Structure 1
Amino acid sequence: MSSPSATLTVWAGSWVAGRSAPDDVLDALRVWATRQSVAAGDPVTGGHTGLPWADDESTETAPGAGIMVLLKLIREATTSPEAQVRLVLPIPGDVRGLPVGTEFAAAATEAGEGLYVGAPGTRGTGLVPVWTDDDALQWRVYATPIPFATESEMPLGEAEYTMRQAVRDAADALQQLHTTRVDSNGPSPRDLIEDELAAYSQHGYPDSLPLRARRILDTADQVAAILTVAERAPASAPVSGTAIAAQESLLRPLWNAIRAARLAAVHARD
């Protein structure tokens, strides 16, 4: 699994649907960090929920409530039959799926991830994971309007085909950016890719996630591992604006394809 938000989205969705137990959700989250807490992302939400407010401008990080509070918040936000648990993977310049101009949208864009829980067209709950330490994760809670979907997600068949093609394109990009080895005694790109994949493989999927969706997520992780290595100090390290732009033009479309495929797979249902 690629992010804490993706993990919580698939496991919470499975739990809400009655296909996983609460402990399954918590166990899946603990793979990311043994120390996790929950805090309000803004003072208004803090007032409504009674959670401590995580003020990033303060000299001290709010200790937050225990991780069990997440389950309570998700359960309260999914009492309506129309309620959804939706992953968002925004980047600057592409914030589709977010309620624009909200505290939740700003926090999710800064983190590059988040999820919201509730029925479209109503006020629900937004969650954004923030690393407060190398091994400590805090879930920031926001009261937020839940938007209606503005466009259909990529069909699973298209997502699977796109990711298969992306594996080849990513390998080609890696070869172009790493034409020679900087340190012949250092790890090879293949070893670095295997290390990245090992980190992804620690995170499991609920049984309720369709098999095709799992294949898409696994392939997306493979592409992401290749791209991460391609971005990491290539042998022909770009030093000019032109070289940096060339690297961006090679990799950015592939990262965008990964985002679209992951969203389609995470939201897939049997």
Structure 2
Amino acid sequence: MSTLRAWPVSALAVWAAARAAGRCAPDDVLHTLHDYSQAHELDGLMSGDVLDLLDVVSGNAHLAVRMPSPGDAQGLPPGTPDGAEVLLIDDRPLGSEGPTAALALTARGTAERCRWELSRVPTPLAVDRLSSDLPLGELEYELREAVGEAAQLIAGLSGARASSPADLRDALAALTEARRIDLPPHEHPRVDRVITSAAQIDAIIDLAGVGALGVSGAQTDVADHRLRRLTALTRTARTAAINTLITDYRR
């Protein structure tokens, strides 16, 4: 079975927000979900199909995406469902403010079948604050610097250098495209730049993982540390970009 494309939770969140704002049609959201997986199942606090999934993310007070990683919980409390990305849903009526026991939505599966798990976070959260707590402008600058650093990692590949430079470029382009998030219509060029840079850095990190970085144990440890730091940066920047759009659509 083929694997699930990267970042389905973020795609659902941003397209659902665009739909609620009248920036896209319901069929556009369904088409986007179908690009990720042929079938979608909702499980956990409630069960259902893709239409029930859309209902869960509609008509709520606030939405916010988080992309935790080992050592970087992105403000999520203990007990939050484990996943590469989590959609937090303040399921109170529109206009509600302050901390609440939010819903958490995660996704796992394949290109054939995606399972969405809905649960409730045990610790009250102010979802509206989480949606706007990351400075996108600063993160874009950090990403710009990180692209050059990540490119140096590619130059340090030793185990996977049997391929030609052209093959390496093709592999990088394919991996970058697979890690991009298709976004609804919007007016935020900075968001597009951040999403593209984050996908490119993630692709380079994946390629770096194919070969041996450095020639000594100490060099490998340094490279691994750099990879983890770059991965955390791309997750933080991507989180900020997606939440910027969600907040804008929901104004």
Q: TM-score, structure 1 length as denominator? A: 0.76
* Residue 191 of structure 1: how far off its partner (Å): 2.2
Determine the structure 2 residue equivalent to 1:192: 171
Higher relative contact order (CA 8 A, sep 6+): 2
Cross-structure match for 2:93: none
Distance 1:173 1:116, change over 3 A: same
Q: Tell me which of 33, 38, 41 is aligned to 2:37.
A: 33
Query: Does residue 227 in structure 1 map to residue 205 in structure 2?
Result: yes
- Counterpart code for 1:155: P
- Matched with 1:101 is 78
2:19 to 5, 15, 19: 15
SS of alignment partner, residue 40 of structure 2? strand
CA deviation digits over 1:162-218, x for unaligned, max 9? 221111110012212x147553579732222012023235x5211136221112111
Deviation of 1:241 (Å)? 5.2
What is the alpha-carbon root mean square deviation over aligned residues?
2.7
Matching residue of 1:138: 115
* 3-state SS, counterpart of residue 99 of structure 2: coil
**What SS does structure 1 have at the residue aligned with 2:58?**
helix
Aligned to 2:227: 251
Q: Alpha-carbon deviation of 1:32?
A: 0.9
- 1:89 maps to 2:91: no
Residues 159 and 211, structure 2, Cα contact 8 Å, conserved in 1: no
Task: State the Cα distance separating 1:113 from its structure 2 match.
Answer: 1.2
* CA positional deviation for 1:258: 0.7
Q: How far apart are residue 72 of structure 1 and its match?
A: 1.4
Q: Which runs of 4+ in 1 moved over 4 A?
A: 179-182, 184-187
SS at match of 1:208: coil
> Where in structure 2 are the equivalents of 1:1-270 lying within 5 Å?
2-40=6-44, 45=45, 49=46, 51=47, 65-75=48-58, 78=60, 83-98=61-76, 100-102=77-79, 105=80, 107-108=81-82, 111-118=83-90, 120-131=98-109, 133=110, 135-144=112-121, 147-148=125-126, 149=129, 153-176=133-156, 178-179=157-158, 182-184=161-163, 188-200=167-179, 203-208=181-186, 210-234=188-212, 242-269=218-245, 270=248
Partner Cα distance (1:199, 1:184) in 2: 20
Moved more, 186-195 or 167-176: 186-195
How far off is 1:134 after superposition?
A: 5.4
| Residue 155 of structure 1: how far off its partner (Å) | 2.1
**1:19 counterpart letter in structure 2:** R
Structure 2: unaligned runs, 5 residues or longer = 91-96
* Contact in 1 for aligned 2:89/2:102 (Cα 8 Å): yes
